[in-house]
């Protein structure tokens, strides 16, 4: 098994590509040991010194650290991922799944929200996944779009620029009612 790694815009996060599907639907952001109970692999990865977060995408795993050197951490992370896939153990414990997101918006804005969600799904999420993260719609109120950034995007130094210059400009272009984009 050959696992590739890719840098992300967030220097504290590294993307691991096992060359096979990781999570069949959606994404999963695990930021502590309690949340890791739903995934045997996440438990192993959080046992690696300095690992503070695990994020699953369709075909990648993003690992976030606080301190430590990637060159020293990578062998243990690669070993945990390889061991998991070789064991045949499911990624998620039985009955565990990402909780559906609570969204908020006025029913009168349903058409605007549908357009915003479509743009995020088709134009934003694929680009963000390429950087080892994910972004999901959380709400829309009075011209403000609220988005939740996960994985490599959470805490990334360039996330504010991504939100304010990239996503905000895109949404404003296609949805004139959008005035601002904010992280949740």
What pLDDT score does 102 carry?
81
Are the beta carbons of 12 and 65 closer than 8 angstroms?
Answer: yes
* pLDDT digit string, tens, across residues 157-182: 676 777 777 888 999 999 999 999 88
Which domain-ending residue is among 60, 87, 114? 87
pLDDT at 136: 85
Instruction: Note whether residue 99 is domain-resident.
Output: no
Given 55, 87, 119, the domain boundary residue is: 87
Same domain, 119 and 61: no
pLDDT by residue, tens only, the chain of 184 residues: 799 999 998 899 999 999 999 998 888 999 999 999 999 999 999 999 999 999 999 899 999 999 899 999 999 999 999 999 999 889 988 755 544 558 889 999 999 999 999 999 898 888 888 878 888 899 999 999 998 888 777 766 676 777 777 888 999 999 999 999 888 8
Task: Write out the residue range of the structural domain in which residue 33 sits.
Answer: 4-87
Joined together, the tokens standing for residue 158 give: 């360039």
| Boundary of a domain, candidates 57, 87, 117 | 87
Residues 71 and 115 in one domain: no
Q: In what order do the strands lie in the sheet with 51-56?
A: 4-7, 13-17, 61-65, 51-56, 28-30
Question: Does residue 25 lie within any of the structural domains?
Answer: yes
Asked if residue 73 and residue 35 are part of one domain, the reply reads yes
Do 172 and 135 fall within a single domain? yes
Give dist(CA 56, CA 62) in Å, integer. Answer: 7
Residue 155: per-residue pLDDT:
67
Residues 59 and 128 occupy one common structural domain: no
Could you tell me if 62 and 119 lie in one domain? no
Residue 92 falls inside a structural domain: no
Task: Please report, for the domain that includes residue 146, its CATH number.
Answer: 3.30.300.130
Report pLDDT for 13: 93
d(CA 153, CA 156): 5
Whether residues 147 and 116 fall in one domain: yes
81/110 same-domain check: no
Beta-strand pair 13-17/4-7:
antiparallel
Tally the domains of the chain. Answer: 2
Domain assignment present for 95: no
In whole angstroms, give the CA distance from residue 132 to residue 126: 10
CB 133 within 8 A of CB 7: no
Give the CATH number, domain containing residue 44: 3.30.1370.70
Question: 96 lies in a domain?
Answer: no
């Amino acid at each position: 098994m050959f696992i590739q790694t890719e840098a992300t815009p967030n220097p504290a996060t590294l993307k691991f590509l096992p060359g096979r599907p990781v999570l069949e639907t959606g994404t999963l952001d695990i930021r502590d040991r309690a949340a890791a109970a739903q995934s045997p692999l996440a438990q192993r990865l959080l046992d690696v010194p300095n690992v503070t977060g695990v994020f699953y995408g369709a075909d990648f795993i993003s690992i976030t650290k606080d301190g430590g050197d990637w060159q020293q951490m990578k062998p243990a992370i690669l070993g945990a991922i390889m061991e998991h896939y070789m064991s045949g153990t499911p990624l998620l414990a039985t009955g565990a799944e990402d909780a559906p997101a609570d969204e908020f918006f006025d029913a009168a804005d349903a058409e605007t929200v549908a357009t915003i969600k479509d743009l995020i799904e088709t134009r934003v999420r694929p680009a963000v996944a390429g950087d080892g993260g994910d972004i999901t719609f959380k709400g829309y109120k009075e011209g403000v779009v609220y988005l939740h950034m996960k994985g490599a995007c959470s805490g990334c130094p360039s996330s504010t620029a991504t939100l304010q210059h990239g996503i905000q400009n895109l949404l404003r272009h296609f949805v004139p009612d959008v005035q601002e984009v904010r992280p949740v």
